[in-house]
Amino acid sequence: MANIGKNIRRLRNSKHMTQDDLAEKLFVSRQTVSNYETGVSLR
């Protein structure tokens, strides 16, 4: 997992947010958030 993905997951968890919650705030899909966190996608 890329460092940015680790940071996204850590910060999301510290705010007690689900991937769905974060995706809604970023106007992206839950799968996109998952891809960011796992390093599959960085865009």
pLDDT score for 41: 76
Query: Could you give the number of structural domains in the chain?
Result: 1
Q: Is residue 26 part of a domain?
A: yes
Q: Answer yes or no: is 15 within a domain.
A: yes
Neighbours of 31 (CB within 10 A): 12
Residue 32 lies in a domain: yes
Query: What is the chain's pLDDT, residue by residue, as a tens digit (43 residues)?
Result: 558 999 999 999 999 999 999 999 999 999 999 999 998 876 6
Of 22, 14, 15, nearest in space to 35 by CA: 22
- For residue 23, tell me if it sits in a domain: yes
Residue 43 domain-assigned (yes or no): no
What pLDDT score does 34 carry? 97
Number of H helices, E strands in the chain: 3, 0
Question: Could you give the CA distance from residue 17 to residue 10 in angstroms, rounded to a whole number?
Answer: 10
pTM: 0.84
Write out the residue range of the structural domain in which residue 13 sits: 3-38
Give dist(CA 31, CA 28) in Å, integer. 8
